[in-house]
Amino acid sequence: MARRPILAANWKMQKTVGEALAFAGSFLPLVKDAAADVVLAPPATALHALGQAIQGSNVALAAQNVSPEPKGAFTGELSTEMLADVGCSYAIVGHSERRTLFGETSAFVAAKAEALLAQNILPIVCCGESLEQREANQTFSYVGGQIRESLARIDKARAAEIVVAYEPIWAIGTGKTATPEMAQEVHAMIRGVLGELFGADGEAIRIQYGGSVKPANVAELMSQTDIDGALVGGASLEPESFSQIVNFGG
Ligand code: 13P
């Protein structure tokens, strides 16, 4: 099945409002003809201004996190309604940094993904194994389990709209990319789990690869059958390099 590619920038805890706007000014002209969905996930403080700056363009806005709660006494949290209010059409959930540094479980991620879809914000649901798990041959069981649990509350009628991101932890920010074959092997396993969960709609779900994606390696990764896009950290911080990634390299 032909799936539209989706390239997303995860800026993590980087860029002030001014820096985000400067990025947009340079970046938008470079990707205006992209044959892919293009997404920017700035820190929460820049969501509103960046959302305004990209309005009417072919670039979409994403949050890096969200609360599953609709409102109330949750100091420091943001609701799905607040994200919709500033123009988010996507939100990343279950990034490995949230799971390992902030103790987020797959059950919590599942609640976030459910709340997002109910608000018509598309979740980008992350998964990925540690080096220890890979070396212990636990990649398939661990990542498969993360997917089953994190997608447990997705409405089957909406499943085709979600995005999954496979990001092996050992490849994030390390310069070590999974080889295209290694990534494809896990993406194919994830595709199988999506088929078990959602039937034929599992074929429509886009699966991004993340972990040291760069202009030089994106085309080869994207050539794999089940790799439908990339979630990019470091190489998304400069307009030139992320635009090259959006335009599939070189
Ligand atoms: P890097 O591209 O810096 O390895 O980060 C990947 C990532 O975690 C994106 O969410």
Domains of the chain: 6-69+76-246 (3.20.20.70)
Q: What pLDDT is stored for residue 250 in this prediction? A: 58
User: String of b and e for 77-107 (b: at least 16 CB within 10 Å)?
Assistant: ebbbebbbebbbbbbbbbbbbbbeeeebebe
Q: What pLDDT is stored for residue 224 in this prediction? A: 97
Residue 10 in contact with ligand 1 by CB distance below 6 A? yes
Return averaged pLDDT per consecutive 10 residues of the chain, 250 residues in all: 94 98 98 97 98 98 98 98 98 98 98 98 98 96 98 97 97 88 98 98 97 96 97 98 90
Residue 132, amino acid? E
CB 33 within 8 A of CB 1: no
Tell which one of 231, 241, 242 to mutate to probe ligand 1, the residue whose CB is within 8 A of the most ligand atoms: 231
Q: What are phi and psi of 58, to 5 degrees?
A: -90, 15
Q: What pLDDT is stored for residue 248 in this prediction? A: 85
Q: What pLDDT is stored for residue 140 in this prediction? A: 98
- From 95, 97, 104, 129, active-site residue: 95
Residue 232 in contact with ligand 1 by CB distance below 6 A? yes
Q: What pLDDT is stored for residue 176 in this prediction? A: 82
The alpha carbon of 157 and the centre of ligand 1 are apart by a number of angstroms equal to 30
Q: What pLDDT is stored for residue 44 in this prediction? A: 98
SS3 149: helix
CB 171 within 8 A of CB 194: no
Q: Strands, DSSP E only, in 23-160?
A: 37-41, 59-63, 88-93, 122-127
Please give the DSSP secondary-structure letter assigned to residue 137.
T
135 is catalytic: no
Record the pTM: 0.98
